[in-house]
Amino acid sequence: MGFRRCCQATQAVRERCKELILSDDTLRELQRRFLENIQRGLGKDTNASALVKCFITYVQDLPTGEESGKFLALDLGGTNFRVLLIEISKDHFEMRSKIFAIPQHIMLGSGERLFDHIADCLYKFSKEENLLGETLPLGFTFSFPLIQKSLTTGILKCWTKGFNCSGVVGQDVVQLLLDAIERRGDLKISVMAILNDSTGTLMSCAWLNRNCRIGLIVGTGSNACYIEKQKNAELFDGEDLGSGNVLINTEWGAFGDDGALDFIRTSYDEEIDKNSVNPGKQKHEKMISGMYMGELARLVLERFTKEGLLFGGKGSDALFTRESFYTKYVSEIESDRPGSYTNCTEILEELGIKQATEQDYINVRFICECVSRRAAHLVSAAVAALLNKMGEKKVTIGIDGSVYRYHPHFHNLMMEKISHLVDPGIVFDLMLSEDGSGRGAALVAAVACAHPR
C-alpha cells in the first residue's frame, strides 16, 4: 500500500528506480535458480561445488511441548556473548541470562583464548545461579558457518562478523569448548547440541506452534533452515531416530556468488560488494540484509542527487560518506504516516540536508521503499521455493532479525509476495521468533535429552 501511495514520486525518480523493482516472472526465475542450488547442496556428488551448502544439522525432531527440565544455553554470534539458564515445563517457560562482552583482542587472538573466555563466563554465570554442583544439558548457538558431523560436532568452515581467532577454522568447536572447560576443572557441562541462529529460531517457534517448518533470519545477515526428508539429504550420516526428517541449514547468503543473480544485480549492488570485507561472496545476503540495506539506499540517494533529481542537486559531505545512512533510517522514513515527513526531515537534517522540499521527501521515501521492497521480495521468493519443495499444506515460518522485527512493512510485503509465489493449496503464516538463539538452543538440548543417541 505504501509503495502505491509513493507513486507521487517524480517521473524521473520512478523511471530510474525501475531496476530495483522485480516482477513476479523475475522472482519465479529466481525461485527456479535457488531450488537448483538447494538440490546441489543436498546431493552427495554436487555438494562439494555447491554454493548453497545445505548443511545437515542432525536435528531430527521438533519440540512436542512436553519437554521439561533445566537447561543451559550459550549464544555466540557477535561481539556480545550470552549465557542463559532456561527452565521448561508444559506451558511454562522461565529464562535468566547474562551478557558478556568479547573484547576485540580476544576476537582476533587465539582460539584457546576465546574458548577460555567463554568457559570463564559460563563459570561466573553458573556460580551466580548456584549451579556449580549440577551437571546440566547445554545447547550451544554458534552463528558462524559450520559443517556438522553430528548433533554435537561442528567444524568451523570460516569466521565472519569480525572474528578471526587462530586455530579454530577446520576444528570442532564443541571439542574446543570441552577442552576449555576441562582446563578449568571446576565446571560440569553436558553439551547436547550445537546449532546456528536460524535453527534456534525454528525450534523456538516450533515449541509454540507445531506447524513451524522453516526458520528464517533477516537481520544484520540472512539465512534460512527448513525440514527436509532424510532420503533427500544425501550426506546425512547418522542414525534415523524415526521421524525420517532432518533440519537443513541452507546458508543461503552465498546464493548468486556464481553469477546466478547478476541479471538483477545493479551497479549499487556491485558498489556494495566491491567495498565489503568479502568481495564476490554472500551476494544474496548483500541484497537483503540490514548490514547493507542502508548503504544501498544511500548510494541511490547520492547518485540521484548528483544527477540533479534530489535536493536541487546539492548534497552534503555526510550524505556522500559511505555507511552514513543507517538501515534504521530506511525503517524510520517508511514509518512516517501518509503526508507526514517528520522522521524523513530529521534524518536528512542529521545528514546536513536542510534545503529538502516536500517533493524530495516523497522521492526519498520512494527510494527507501524500492530498496526494502526488493529485499522483502528476494526473501519471499526463496521462502516460497522452500515451501513448494516441502509440499506441506500448512506451514508456519519462524522469523527473527532486526530488519523483519523493526521495518514497518516487511511482514506485509512478505505475506503478499509469498502468497503470489507458492503453489495453490499451501497455507502459510509468518511468526516472529522469541529469542531463537537462546530459547532455541535450550529447546534443541531438551529435545536431544528426550531422544538420547
- All domains in the chain, ordered by first residue: 1-57+209-434 (3.40.367.20), 61-195 (3.30.420.40)
* Distance (Å) of CA 138 to CA 100, 189, 362, 364, 432: 18, 7, 51, 48, 24
Inform me whether the pLDDT recorded for 92 exceeds 90. Answer: no
Residue 453: predicted pLDDT: 56
For residue 251, give the nearest of 198, 203, 291, 293 by alpha carbon.
198
Most distant CA pair in the chain, distance = 70
Residues above pLDDT 90, as percent of the chain: 80
* Distance (Å) of CA 257 to CA 249, 253, 254, 273, 281: 18, 9, 6, 11, 6
Residue 1: predicted pLDDT: 37
Structure confidence by residue, pLDDT tens digits, 15-69: 999 999 999 999 999 999 999 999 999 999 999 999 999 999 999 989 888 888 9
- Say if CB 296 and CB 233 are below 8 A apart: no
* Catalytically annotated residue among 82, 213, 365, 439: 82
Question: How much is the average pLDDT of 146-164?
Answer: 88
Predicted TM-score (pTM) of this structure: 0.91
Q: Which residues contact 392 (CB under 8 A, 6 or more apart)?
A: 213, 426
- Say if CB 160 and CB 251 are below 8 A apart: no
Higher pLDDT, 151 or 90: 151
Structure confidence by residue, pLDDT tens digits, 182-196: 999 999 899 999 998
* Band of residue 146 on the pLDDT scale cut at 50, 70, 90: confident
Residue 340: predicted pLDDT: 94
Amino acid type, 380: S
Residue 239: predicted pLDDT: 81
Question: How much is the average pLDDT of 221-229?
Answer: 95
Enter the C-alpha cell of residue 301: 540517494
439 tagged catalytic: no
End-to-end CA distance of the chain: 51
Residue 64: predicted pLDDT: 86
Amino acid type, 54: C
* Catalytically annotated residue among 197, 257, 269, 360: 197
143 tagged catalytic: yes
* Catalytically annotated residue among 143, 198, 324, 433: 143
- Say if CB 141 and CB 438 are below 8 A apart: yes
- Poorest-confidence range of 84-88, 148-152, 448-452? 448-452
Higher pLDDT, 57 or 93: 57
Inform me whether the pLDDT recorded for 163 exceeds 70. Answer: yes
Inform me whether the pLDDT recorded for 145 exceeds 60. Answer: yes
* Band of residue 159 on the pLDDT scale cut at 50, 70, 90: confident
Residue 406: predicted pLDDT: 96
Enter the C-alpha cell of residue 270: 556491485
Inform me whether the pLDDT recorded for 91 exceeds 80. Answer: no
CA distance 371 to 351: 19
- Say if CB 393 and CB 427 are below 8 A apart: yes
CA distance 154 to 289: 25
CA distance 183 to 165: 19
CA distance 29 to 44: 25
Inform me whether the pLDDT recorded for 3 exceeds 80. Answer: no
75 tagged catalytic: no
Inform me whether the pLDDT recorded for 2 exceeds 70. Answer: no
Burial class (CB in 10 A: 0-12, 13-18, 19+), 163: buried
